[in-house]
Chain A
């Protein structure tokens, strides 16, 4: 538990209830019930804007049969007692669907048993109404608050009964996001806002590369009003790992300016006037492009094969396409820059900050300080966006500084320039796709080779939507990867490798359809119909077993999303001069999806994206309001990622510095968006990332339909500047 007597957990209040009592009883690790009946639920997986604090709470409250007006939500501190707390991989609902419902049902059973004992009646004669145990035969009721401490003394039952779907009061309902009232009043406390008495602020001039040497003007920095101390933070092996991606075991380190307020720390850092000697900083985007070209000329390392591709493609009368697609480095650019507060005092280390994996922060702090994990606490704060960035946070470096501050708490704040330059970027990639079909459009062979800095031996998240996860039923296929070396730090970014794998696959199918003289939607529909009775389970990407569940690909469900998408956009393969529609279909970690785009080329030759339509089947929708928001948001994130975003590398560093030169889309470029959620009743899969890969190929294919010219390299307005309305 947190040191210093401070309240653990940040409590979000639902609908005006406020519980200040600490004499709650705990019924399972995630449920606390106070004597006044307030139920405080601790959803284990982190909230970073994807509304899972609310949806996980719905799962617990449902089976508990809670009175929603008395439900409060707290962010649990880092601890194995809550189970896996990671937010990412679109796994939260999938992983918590059973355990959190079971927790709610367990607590409910214990409350019933406590009431039955008190009334001296069989438990089987009791039932619950929201927040109450009821014995109808004797017309007696007791609130959960009155029963909780007795219930907590009982042994939890071995087996519990879960509610039937027709009895759901919360699951499947559009429950508004819990935090919104606090957010709109400016009362939501993010890590960036968290303050302790006597706290100081630090801004770090990080080492740009691990072998860089610094010359700096310490005296000048100390003269800046408000600056207190200059501390060198060494690069450390902190054992941390980016979620789903490359290892980043090193806390980068740098020169820290510690000051009384954030502004003074920033000014102090400027006054340091650090000059870096970086003998080996020579990597560039051109060099990486050359490496990708070389990689494509090689055989690659095969990670999955089906049938005999070499023989299959030699048959007579076949049609083939052979094309390559490029995507650049991207930056996460979540709105709240990295930050962490750490206090090292009296043999304890306490930390607060945004994160996607609080137990990793705790372990990294313990490692860099060389202290026992039991002496460290980590309290996650609600995150101002994550998108895969918050696996490696400012916590370890803040701990190293705080350890030199005699018990004074320290907040490290990253500048936007730090985020843009020192991100672990979505990696650059090139994909080569060769599809072979017969003249009727039956798939004969699929050959897919991609190259990127992802290191194949460590993490095969490259297989997402490829390999064993591949949607299309090619009788012969080969999936290969080549790792290109780079000194640039890379990591998972919302959608991860699906983004470039789906861009490549869905663009290639469009090119095949064109060569066959077929409508690309009809071609896909034919492929799905051919296998309409097929359901297959694909294993999680290699290296993610236990963290990511096996996913289901079901062709009825693919037909469902494609049909809904087609009907909503009013699909037309040849809609008319200057107009185009394009499409992408895919299954992302079990969520079935079809995204269509409608574009127009205006009379000045500029691209206008008029509409995006996404039809999504994630099995069972826990919260349609939250799910819709994730699809809307994912489409915008994906579209922004392909219109203008890119990170270019010069002298071993990112050239871009902020939103000024790393352009993201804003309101005028957000098209009309339609989201169709299909609740097929299957086991729930995720919503957080599924929409991101769609806009790239859908828009590129639509641009082809409108102009007859292909987009094979992103971002669109860099490849085809003449289409840019801003140019």
Chain B
């Protein structure tokens, strides 16, 4: 067990946890931030995607002791749903069950941090490792392309 100070969503949080406890469970069970989801626990589905210093990271395979930099979760994307991605998701009625969508939004946020004008092929590549079982892919792509094109 050790104490860790984490920068999350613009604030500082002190937690006491096992060094190897994944950030996912620190966020969900210790900090009460349940927006980041558990889908597989082995980093292959993307439901747990957060941003650390603007890059997409899978919280389920990131031990808390390895976290450096500013963590942003879905709760930190905006205070009120006003982030352009959130608005695009609402406008295009993207989610179905919604469980994977926080991960997809944070993954999209990191993509746009690195590439403001992704091509359709860029979007395909970026989302090749993200899983959605409800099949919202068509509307995710639609939302991203419309955001890109300023529609």
Q: How far is the CA of A195 from the CA of B28 in the complex (A)?
A: 10
Q: How far is the CA of A180 from the CA of B93 in the complex (A)?
A: 7
Q: Are B138 and A670 in contact (CB under 8 A)?
A: yes
Q: A667 and B44 in contact (CB under 8 A), knowing A176-B90, A625-B93?
A: no
Q: Are B37 and A658 in contact (CB under 8 A)?
A: no
Q: CB-CB contacts of A626-646 with B at 8 A, as 1s and 0s? A: 000110111111000000000
A residues less than 8 Å from B30 (CB atoms): 261
Q: How far is the CA of A185 from the CA of B86 in the complex (A)?
A: 7
Q: A263 and B25 in contact (CB under 8 A), knowing A183-B95, A186-B75, A632-B135?
A: yes
B residues less than 8 Å from A383 (CB atoms): 97
CB-nearest residue of chain A relative to B75? A186
CB distance from A349 to the nearest CB of B (A): 24
Q: Does B54 make an interface contact (CB < 8 A)?
A: no
A residues less than 8 Å from B127 (CB atoms): 666-668
Q: Are A187 and B35 in contact (CB under 8 A)?
A: yes
CB distance from A673 to the nearest CB of B (A): 5
Q: A49 and B42 in contact (CB under 8 A), knowing A185-B81, A333-B133, A667-B127?
A: no
Q: Are B89 and A180 in contact (CB under 8 A)?
A: yes
Q: CB-CB contacts of A148-178 with B at 8 A, as 1s and 0s? A: 0000000000000000000000000010110
Q: Are A180 and B90 in contact (CB under 8 A)?
A: yes
A residues less than 8 Å from B101 (CB atoms): 183-184
Q: Which of B37, B42, B73, B90 contacts A184 (CB 8 A)?
A: B90
Most buried by A among B28, B40, B73, B130: B40
Q: How far is the CA of A267 from the CA of B95 in the complex (A)?
A: 33
Most buried by A among B29, B100, B135, B141: B135
Q: Which of A51, A190, A193, A666 contacts B96 (CB 8 A)?
A: A51
Q: Are A660 and B47 in contact (CB under 8 A)?
A: no
Q: Which of A337, A384, A633 contacts B98 (CB 8 A)?
A: A384
Q: Does A655 make an interface contact (CB < 8 A)?
A: no
Q: Does B99 make an interface contact (CB < 8 A)?
A: yes
Which range contains the number of A residues in contact with the other chain? Answer: 35 or more
B residues less than 8 Å from A29 (CB atoms): none
The majority secondary structure among interface residues of chain A is loop
Most buried by A among B36, B77, B131: B131
Q: Are A629 and B139 in contact (CB under 8 A)?
A: yes
Q: Which of A170-226 contact B (CB under 8 A)?
A: 174, 176-177, 179-181, 183-190, 192-193, 195, 201, 225-226
Q: Does B34 make an interface contact (CB < 8 A)?
A: yes
Q: Are B135 and A635 in contact (CB under 8 A)?
A: yes
CB distance from B71 to the nearest CB of A (A): 13
Most buried by A among B21, B73, B137: B137
Number of contacts between A and B (CB, 8 Å)? Answer: 189
Q: Which of B32, B74, B132 contacts A335 (CB 8 A)?
A: B132
Q: How far is the CA of A657 from the CA of B116 in the complex (A)?
A: 37
CB distance from A542 to the nearest CB of B (A): 30
Q: Which of A309-337 contact B (CB under 8 A)?
A: 333-337
Q: How far is the CA of A387 from the CA of B125 in the complex (A)?
A: 27
Q: Does B105 make an interface contact (CB < 8 A)?
A: yes
Q: How far is the CA of A666 from the CA of B45 in the complex (A)?
A: 10
Q: A179 and B34 in contact (CB under 8 A), knowing A263-B29, A416-B41, A659-B131?
A: no
Q: CB-CB contacts of A402-424 with B at 8 A, as 1s and 0s? A: 00000000000101100000000
Q: How far is the CA of A174 from the CA of B139 in the complex (A)?
A: 15
Q: Are B37 and A387 in contact (CB under 8 A)?
A: no
CB-nearest residue of chain A relative to B103? A335
Q: Are A670 and B137 in contact (CB under 8 A)?
A: yes
A residues less than 8 Å from B105 (CB atoms): 184
Q: Does B1 make an interface contact (CB < 8 A)?
A: yes
Q: Does B124 make an interface contact (CB < 8 A)?
A: yes
Q: How far is the CA of A303 from the CA of B81 in the complex (A)?
A: 55
B residues less than 8 Å from A632 (CB atoms): 135-136, 138-139
CB-nearest residue of chain B relative to A384? B99
Most buried by B among A190, A261, A667: A667
Most buried by B among A180, A415, A668: A180
A residues less than 8 Å from B6 (CB atoms): none
Q: How far is the CA of A625 from the CA of B100 in the complex (A)?
A: 20
Q: Does A342 make an interface contact (CB < 8 A)?
A: no
Q: How far is the CA of A630 from the CA of B97 in the complex (A)?
A: 11
Q: A384 and B95 in contact (CB under 8 A), knowing A262-B38, A416-B39, A637-B133?
A: no
Q: Are B97 and A336 in contact (CB under 8 A)?
A: yes
Q: Which of A185, A337, A633, A666 contacts B134 (CB 8 A)?
A: A633
Q: Which of A174, A179, A660 contacts B42 (CB 8 A)?
A: A660
B residues less than 8 Å from A387 (CB atoms): 133
Q: Which of B44, B77, B85 contacts A659 (CB 8 A)?
A: B44
Q: Does B102 make an interface contact (CB < 8 A)?
A: yes
Q: CB-CB contacts of A598-630 with B at 8 A, as 1s and 0s? A: 000000000000000000000000000100011
Q: How far is the CA of A384 from the CA of B95 in the complex (A)?
A: 11
Q: A335 and B97 in contact (CB under 8 A), knowing A415-B41, A670-B137?
A: yes
Q: CB-CB contacts of A658-686 with B at 8 A, as 1s and 0s? A: 11100010111010010000000000000
Q: Are A225 and B93 in contact (CB under 8 A)?
A: no
Q: Which of A671-717 contact B (CB under 8 A)?
A: 673
Q: Does B140 make an interface contact (CB < 8 A)?
A: yes
Q: With contacts A48-B97, A186-B33, A383-B97 known, what are 8 further pairs, Cβ within 8 A?
A: A186-B73, A186-B75, A333-B133, A335-B45, A335-B99, A382-B98, A666-B131, A668-B124
CB-based closest 8 A-B pairs: A186-B35, A49-B97, A384-B99, A636-B135, A633-B135, A186-B74, A667-B127, A183-B98
Task: Name 27 interchain pairs, CB-CB below 8 A, sorted by A.
Answer: A49-B97, A49-B99, A49-B134, A176-B93, A177-B96, A180-B93, A180-B98, A183-B89, A183-B95, A184-B81, A185-B35, A185-B75, A185-B78, A186-B35, A186-B74, A190-B37, A193-B34, A263-B18, A335-B131, A335-B134, A384-B37, A387-B133, A633-B135, A664-B131, A667-B140, A668-B124, A673-B138
